[in-house]
Structure formats: structure tokens, C-alpha cells
Amino acid sequence: MKLNVKHLTYLVAGLALAGCAAAVATRTATPELPEIGGRAVIQPSAPVASRATLVLAGTSIPVHVDQKVQEDLVTLVMKAQKEVIEVEQYRCGSESFALRKAAGEVFEPGLPLLRYPVASGERWSWEGHMTNGSLRQPARAEVLARSEKIYLGRDPWESVKVVVDLEVQADTGTTRRELSFWFVPGKGIVKRSFGPGSARLPQAP
């Protein structure tokens, strides 16, 4: 049976995640934490692998990843059967690397995933709004960055794992989601999860 990727994308659009613009965040000073490095070391905008697997609502879809860098914006476009399935966009600045948008959702201002120099175990908070279509909702997040070993195929790599505990306020109450991102120096964002409905995984070489 042929996969209808368009219908699948609509099904999970409300489960995925994103961000936008400048970055308003409160950083906790923790000088005792081991430093991982700055922008030049982590290279968050480095080209990602052109092949990946999207997991949407439990269904795995092999995709081709096109990466575009225009000024300070890094855009990843995932395609299957020549159809755009998901788009991720990040803002790469001199002081931070922020999630701007993905899966139709936008963060205003952008949600900082990295704040330089990055230290393992460092935490910071963010407050702003998350917009999906015409719906704009207040949101806040707690962000944690730490060192973690990740396997790309059979090879282990040192990575920076960023975990975002996101809270979105709605008329019916507060909803919570956990977002995760893995940065490998020189390889960009090799893996990410936008909650239970959407994940991008590296394909085995």
C-alpha cells in the first residue's frame, strides 16, 4: 500500500515543534560546570547528512534532507517522493543557536538551544509565544545542555544533547512536551525529537 505522506503530515502537524526570531532567555551562572566549547567548536550549522529517517506518528519515512544557509538562518527541508514533509529552521547567531520554526509551529522569540560557550549541565529558561496558524499561545521552557555519546552507525561520537521542557498555555490548561536535540561537532544537528509525534533520526551509513 502506497504511503500517503501528505495525510500523515497533517496527522502529526499538531504534535511537532518549532521556534522564531531573537532570543529572550534567562541564563543561570554556573562557572563550576565543565565547558564544552563555543560556536567554532560545536559548529551547529554544519551540513547535516543528506539522508535521514522521519518518524511521524510511529511511521518511519526515509527522507532526503536539503540544507540551506541564508545569512543567519539555517533551514532543513525533508522530502519524500519529491514532496516536502517537514521543514526545520534555526537562527545561528554569535551568542546563541535558536530554534525558530518546525512542523508549522513558530517560537517568538527564538528558543535558544545553545548559548555560548556551552557548559555540560548548564540550564537556562525561555519565555515567549508559540504560534500554529492563527493560534498564538504563551509558552515557557527550561533548557538543559549536556555532553552525551551518540552512535552514528557503529561509530561513537561525542555530542551535545539539549533537552527542552516546554509548557504551552491554552484555554483548556497547560500542555507539556519534551524536545531533544543532538549536536555533533562538524556534523550539525544529527538527531532531534519534537515530542512523541515527530523525530528525525540519522540513517545508517
- Residue 13, pLDDT > 60, answer no
Selection from 114, 174, 99 nearest residue 144 by Cα: 114
pLDDT of amino acid 107 = 96
Per-residue three-class SS string for 34-62:
CEEECHHHHCCCCCCCCEEEEEECCEEEE
User: What tens digit of pLDDT does each residue of 57-92 get?
Assistant: 899 999 999 999 999 999 999 999 889 999 999 999
pLDDT of amino acid 153 = 85
How many whole angstroms separate alpha carbon 143 and alpha carbon 126?
8
pLDDT of amino acid 51 = 95
pTM over 0.85: no
21 or 124: whose pLDDT is higher? 124
Paired residues of 44 in beta bridges: none
Question: What is the torsional sign of CA 92, 97, 100, 103?
Answer: positive
- Residue 5, pLDDT > 70, answer no
Domain at 5-202, CATH class: mainly beta
The number of CA neighbours under 13 Å toward the Cβ of 2 is 4
How many whole angstroms separate alpha carbon 113 and alpha carbon 98?
5
